[in-house]
């Protein structure tokens, strides 16, 4: 299954590039367009998000807190098209992280069973603060529209695209061990690193809309957070703010 997902990511990226390459034939990008428009061809994009696991069973979803969040950072190259400078194609590389916070729940990512265990700790000792974190290296691709190409910091913007990623690392982090009543037993931090249950590749669809350097953005993962049969078929949804010049 992992090989199928990796193949899907690869094919999707190739098709995405090929589609826009074909569309641009006969409409070669203006090599000096970005220079003439007084903007650089490469930009940084930073994104802060509220993170959610869609299709999570109630036993898991009810334990996810509103503090769950993510951070993404990309360096992107923007290429406008000669026929319409308001349209451009963007591609780049970057890092995407997600931090899912749980209340009275333990995610046993270092287990040795076939399925991942989510342990309910309502009546047991637990960490006062607990999260499950993943970090992916990603390749984002976008088709963009800018209402004022020569004044991008004062323009309406919209972008749609895809991004393919590979898992770099995953871990859980617990802080301050407390008893069932919430009283501190011991103050310390525990980190456990393991990737056995987690999908090593991810394919997502993305969208951004905004004005100037600030946009509202969303990212929906087509692939599951966890491997087949390791856990329920949960998908990562990120919604938040995107800050950058594109």
- The whole domain housing 122 covers 2-244
Q: In the structure, what pLDDT confidence band is assigned to residue 41 with cuts at 50, 70 and 90?
A: low
Q: Please provide the average confidence, as pLDDT, over all residues in the chain.
A: 87
Kind and range of the H or E element at 188? strand 184-193
Cα distances from 185 to residues 63, 86, 121, 189, 192, in angstroms, run 22, 60, 15, 13, 20
- Render pLDDT for 187-210 as a digit per residue (tens, 0 to 9): 999 999 999 999 999 999 999 999
pLDDT score of 227: 97
Average pLDDT over residues 33-60: 78
Give the pLDDT confidence score for residue 40 in this predicted structure: 45
Alpha-carbon distance 216 to 243, whole Å? 9
In this prediction, residue 239 carries a pLDDT of 98
| Total residue count of the chain as it appears in this document | 246
pLDDT at 29 over 60: no
Q: How many domains does the chain have?
A: 1
**Segment among 2-11, 76-85, 119-128, 229-238 with least mean pLDDT:** 2-11
CA distance 72 to 163: 12
Closest CA to 245 of 214, 206, 217: 214
Distances (CA, A) of 193 to 1, 133, 165: 23, 10, 19
């Amino acid at each position: 299954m992992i090989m199928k997902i990796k193949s899907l990511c690869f094919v999707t990226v190739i098709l995405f590039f090929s589609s826009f390459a074909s569309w641009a034939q006969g409409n070669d990008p203006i090599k000096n367009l970005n220079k003439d428009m007084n903007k650089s061809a490469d930009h940084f994009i930073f994104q802060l998000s509220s993170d959610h696991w869609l299709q999570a069973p109630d036993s898991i979803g009810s334990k996810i807190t509103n503090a769950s969040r993510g951070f993404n950072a990309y360096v992107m190259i923007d290429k406008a098209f000669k026929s319409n400078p308001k349209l451009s194609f963007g591609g780049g590389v970057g890092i995407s992280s997600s931090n899912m916070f749980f209340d009275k729940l333990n995610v046993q990512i270092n287990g040795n069973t076939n399925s991942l265990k989510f342990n309910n700790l309502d009546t047991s000792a637990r960490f006062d603060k607990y999260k499950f974190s993943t970090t992916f290296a990603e390749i984002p691709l976008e088709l963009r529209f800018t209402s004022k190409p020569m004044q991008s910091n004062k323009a309406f913007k919209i972008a749609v695209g895809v991004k393919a990623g590979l898992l770099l690392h995953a871990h859980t982090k617990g802080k301050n061990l407390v008893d069932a009543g919430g009283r501190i037993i011991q103050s310390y931090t525990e980190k456990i690193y393991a990737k056995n249950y987690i999908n090593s590749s991810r394919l997502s669809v993305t969208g951004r809309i905004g004005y100037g350097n600030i946009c509202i953005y969303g990212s929906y993962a087509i692939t599951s957070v966890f491997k087949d049969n390791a856990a329920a078929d949960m998908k990562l949804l990120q919604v938040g703010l995107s800050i950058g010049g594109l």
